[in-house]
């Protein structure tokens, strides 16, 4: 059976086809980055309108390039939340309409479950149970994962999400949207000169706090000569602090749960420094680390098709209501 996956929670229109036996067949992504960069960040109303323009043509292209017809599709999975309400509604309305027209089930998928399961699309997927660190633009979550749908929250960010902290710090250094990648590129030219705090690592617990790092970056920047090298050194110190903090918390989570497998996913897991430091730590602990391939770290339709498939085989489908939840705690899954 083929499952169509639709992702429209933020600034990327993603579609994919997953097959029960053959795995991922095809996926396409349209990024709105160029459109939003003019405004220095995502403009929700423009995001929704662009999803409306792009989604149906993208689905048509996906089917054509996969040599499939609509009758081949057995279910439609779509991101129902969390995310921007208008953007989510586009995906939800299109998915439900197609499901009704094609008389197949629709499956509402939690965006972060999509990220969490993205490494399952790789050649050596992790076995359950494992610890997952989900680091995206809207969330920072440490979760003990016992199986699909069995998620125990171990820790989360009490303020800014990791990606949000990257983006805000990038902005105050004058970098253009989307800042996360630009900040990490700048950090590559930086030197070890400033020492930023490792927030909430000096006390027990697995929660995070990143907003102080952003302020630390701002005051360091204001006190400097504000040259390009100063910016690069601040970017370096910021990234180093974020990576180190994640290493400390993940090690703690693995020790606390006794689990040796660590899954790291979400947009920020594309960061090379963070990947490298977490890999070194996990190996030192005698564990194994898993990431999605780079293009599936950030938002995509493939992870939604896969998560939808997992929901489908566990017997979950939905009625015909258009279901979209901008806020949706994973604990309610």
Q: Tell me the window of 163-171, 228-236, 293-301, 308-316 that interacts with Zn ion (CB under 5 A).
A: 293-301
184 contacts which partner out of ligand KG4, Zn ion, none, CB within 5 to 8 A by kind?
ligand KG4
Nearer to ligand KG4, 105 or 180 (CB): 180
Interaction between residue 136 and Zn ion (CB under 5 A)? yes
Interaction between residue 164 and Zn ion (CB under 5 A)? no
Interaction between residue 7 and ligand KG4 (CB under 6 A)? no
Interaction between residue 271 and ligand KG4 (CB under 6 A)? yes
Interaction between residue 32 and Zn ion (CB under 5 A)? no
Taking the complex as a whole, the smallest distance from the CB of residue 57 to ligand KG4 amounts, in Å, to 22
282 contacts which partner out of Zn ion, ligand KG4, none, CB within 5 to 8 A by kind?
none
Q: What 3 state SS string does the chain have?
A: CEEEEEECCCCEEEEEEEECCCEEEEEEEEECHHHHHCCCCCCHHHHHHHHHHHHHHHHHHHHHHCCCCHHHEEEEEEEEECCCHHHHHHHHHHHHHHHHHHCCCEEEEEHHHHHHHHHHHCCCCCCCCEEEEEECCCCEEEEEEEECCEEEEEEEECCCCHHHHHHHHHHHCCCCCCHHHHHHHHHCCCCCCCCCCCCCCCCCCCCECCHHHHHHHHHHHHHCCCCHHHHHHHHHHHHHHHHHHHHHHHHHHHHHHCCCEEEEECHHHHCHHHHHHHHHHHHHCCCEEECCCHHHCCCCCHHHHHHHHHHHHCCCCCCCCCCCCCCCCHHHC
Taking the complex as a whole, the smallest distance from the CB of residue 68 to ligand KG4 amounts, in Å, to 27
Report the residue from 50, 167, 233, 299 that binds Zn ion according to the rule CB under 5 A: 299
Taking the complex as a whole, the smallest distance from the CB of residue 161 to ligand KG4 amounts, in Å, to 7
Taking the complex as a whole, the smallest distance from the CB of residue 181 to ligand KG4 amounts, in Å, to 5
Report the residue from 87, 99, 270, 289 that binds ligand KG4 according to the rule CB under 6 A: 270
Nearer to ligand KG4, 85 or 181 (CB): 181
Interaction between residue 245 and ligand KG4 (CB under 6 A)? no
Q: Tell me the window of 20-28, 148-156, 216-224, 292-300 that interacts with Zn ion (CB under 5 A).
A: 292-300
């Amino acid at each position: 059976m083929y499952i169509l996956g639709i992702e429209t929670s933020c600034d990327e229109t993603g579609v994919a086809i997953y097959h029960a036996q053959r795995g991922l067949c095809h996926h396409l992504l349209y990024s709105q980055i160029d459109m939003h960069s003019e405004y220095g960040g995502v403009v929700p109303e423009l995001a929704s309108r662009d999803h409306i323009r792009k989604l149906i043509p993208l689905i048509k292209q996906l089917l054509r390039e996969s040599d499939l017809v609509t009758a081949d599709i057995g279910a439609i999975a779509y991101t129902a939340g969390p995310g921007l309400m208008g953007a989510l509604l586009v995906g939800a309305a299109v998915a439900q309409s197609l499901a009704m027209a094609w008389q197949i089930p629709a499956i509402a998928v939690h965006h972060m479950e999509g990220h969490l399961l993205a490494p399952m699309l790789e050649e050596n997927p992790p076995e359950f149970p494992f610890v997952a660190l989900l680091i995206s633009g809207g969330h920072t979550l440490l979760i003990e994962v016992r199986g699909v749908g069995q998620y125990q929250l171990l820790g989360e960010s009490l303020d800014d999400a990791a990606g949000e902290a990257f983006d805000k710090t990038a902005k105050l250094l004058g970098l253009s949207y989307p800042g996360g990648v630009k900040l990490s590129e700048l950090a590559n030219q930086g030197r070890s000169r400033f020492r930023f705090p490792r927030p909430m690592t000096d006390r027990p617990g697995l929660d995070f706090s990143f907003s102080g790092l952003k302020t630390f970056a701002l005051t360091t920047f204001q006190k400097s000569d504000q040259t390009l090298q100063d910016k690069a050194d601040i970017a370096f110190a910021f990234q180093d602090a974020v990576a180190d903090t994640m290493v400390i918390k993940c090690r703690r989570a693995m020790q606390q749960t006794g689990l040796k497998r660590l899954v790291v996913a979400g947009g920020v897991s594309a960061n090379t420094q963070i990947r490298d430091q977490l890999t070194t730590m996990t190996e030192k602990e005698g564990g194994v680390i898993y990431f999605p391939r780079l293009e599936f770290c950030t938002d995509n339709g493939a992870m939604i098709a896969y998560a939808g498939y997992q929901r489908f085989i566990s017997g979950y489908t939905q009625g015909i209501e258009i279901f979209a939840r901008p806020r949706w705690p994973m604990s309610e899954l």
